[in-house]
Amino acid sequence: MRLGLVLLALAGLAGCAGSQVAGPAAVLPVLTLPLPDTCGAAPFAGLVGQPATALERVLILRPVRLIRGAEPVAALPGRIGFRVDGAGRIIGIVCG
């Protein structure tokens, strides 16, 4: 919700800028905001890039889910989701 409001505010400010463009290859800045760690996933960031089997050697005392490909995921507060690619490597960690 907050991210949407921030993007809406930035879009409004962009409308106030002049209409001159620096050239045909003008590049707009990218806004990246860190997401809050609502599930305590930060200590497991070192697992990204490792095989999913590395999770068998880590004690995680909260709900965990492996997310393969683009499968839909229902959000569960406090759950750590480990995104796994087709090769079985952890490619990301999400909360929910």
Q: Return the amino acid letter for 69.
A: G
Q: Which domains does the chain have, with CATH numbers?
A: 2-95 (3.30.10.10)
Q: What integer pLDDT is reported at residue 54 of this predicted model?
A: 96
Q: Are 69 and 86 in contact (CB under 8 A)?
A: yes
**Residuewise pLDDT in 10s, the chain (96 residues):** 443 433 444 444 445 554 454 555 555 555 555 678 889 999 999 999 999 999 999 999 999 999 998 878 888 889 999 999 999 999 999 988
DSSP state of 30: P
For 40, the token pair is 């305590």
Q: What integer pLDDT is reported at residue 10 of this predicted model?
A: 42
- Torsion-angle region of 53 (φ positive above 0: left; ψ -120 to 50: alpha; else: beta): alpha
pTM, two decimals, is: 0.62
Q: What integer pLDDT is reported at residue 11 of this predicted model?
A: 46
- Each as own residue / partner, the long-range contacts of residues 66-69 (CB below 8 Å, 24 or more positions apart, any chain) are 67/94
